[in-house]
Amino acid sequence: MATLWILVSSLVPLPSFYGAIAYDGQSGAYGFAYDQPSPVAAGRRALDKCGSPGCVLVLEFADGCGAYATGPNAAAGAGSDYTRTTAEDRALAQCRSTGGNCQVKVWTCNSTPGTEPLQPPYDGLYFGPAPR
Question: pLDDT value at position 10?
Answer: 55
**What pLDDT score does 77 carry?**
95
> Which amino acid, one-letter code, is at 6?
I
Q: 98 or 85: whose pLDDT is higher? A: 85
Lowest mean pLDDT among 43-52, 70-79, 113-122: 113-122
Report pLDDT for 111: 87
